[in-house]
Amino acid sequence: MLKRDFYLRDGNIVARDLLGKILVHNTPEGRFSGMIVETEAYLGMNDLASHAANRKLTDRTRIQFGMGGYSYVYLIYGMHYCFNIVTNIMDRPEAVLIRALQPVDGIEEMLKKRKCKRVEDTCNGPGKLCTALNITNEEYGKDLCGSDLFLEDGNVYLKEEIGVSPRINIDYAGESKDLLWRYYVKNNKYVSKVHKSYASDLTLADL
């Protein structure tokens, strides 16, 4: 299991290092897991796209002000949950949104819960993977160094294999909207479907 130290770093570093790691959720209905293939960093101190932009403290963002390695879950569009991992030390409100997984454990159950046929459609979006892994507001604030929701080592990718792009659906974020804070495994079919304007050949090796 990944230890606290992994999370107590800059959100963009953690977002990159999370690619290839295995997200595990042990539930009464069974064990669900998947390999992270797409992430986005949201850093509250100087990022207008963050819910904690300008260090905004609300009941929702509160967990981001604590230390890294905790779960930040929120409901979006009144319908879908999104799962984030809090990063950095205490009082640095940062989180990494998990946007897509390559399913590992509990695939049959995921297909059922998601009502879809193809495995690549179960976790290729932030809302979809929460449905597939049974992640809801119940998981808000959970310690990822605990035993029911945590991460494990998996694949390690080269800089050339990690694509970078602007983050998805944050046009409202003004000067922050073009930051290249989205990271994904190139040529991996489990990455979320996004508008073609995000298509880019940039990788970490180019930065």
Nearer to DNA, 169 or 200 (CB): 169
Write the CA distances from 193 to 42, 82, 115, integer angstroms.
20, 16, 18
The answer to whether residue 196 forms part of the interface with DNA (CB under 7 A) is no
Helix (H) or strand (E) holding 66: none
User: Which residues lie closer than 8 Å to 206 by C-beta, 6 or more apart?
Assistant: 164
Inter-CA distances, 80 with 123, 129, 200, Å: 13, 10, 27
Q: Which residues of 90-123 are buried (b: 16+ CB within 10 A; e: fewer)?
A: eebbbbbbbbbbbbbbbbebbbebbeeeebebbb
Q: Does 82 bind DNA (CB under 7 A)?
A: yes
Say how far residue 40 (Cα) sits from the centre of its chain. 6
Binding mask 93-122 for DNA (x = CB under 7 A): --x-x----------------x-x----x-
The residue among 42 and 157 lying less far from DNA, judged by its C-beta, is 42
Q: Exactly one of 9, 31, 51, 177 binds DNA (CB under 7 A); which one?
A: 51
Residue among 5, 28, 79, 175 that touches DNA (CB under 7 A): 79
- Stretch of residues binding DNA (CB under 7 A), selected from 26-34, 73-81, 105-113, 179-187: 73-81
Burial of 73 (0-12, 13-18, 19+ CB in 10 A): buried
**Smallest distance, DNA to C-beta of residue 84, A:** 5
Residue 189: HSE in the Cβ half-sphere, 13 Å Cα cutoff? 5
Site for DNA in 157-176 (CB under 7 A): 167-170, 172
Residue from 12, 84, 88, 134 that binds DNA (CB under 7 A)? 84
Applying CB under 7 A, which residues contact DNA? Answer: 40, 42, 49-52, 56, 58-61, 72, 74-80, 82, 84, 95, 97, 114, 116, 121, 125-129, 137, 167-170, 172, 192, 195
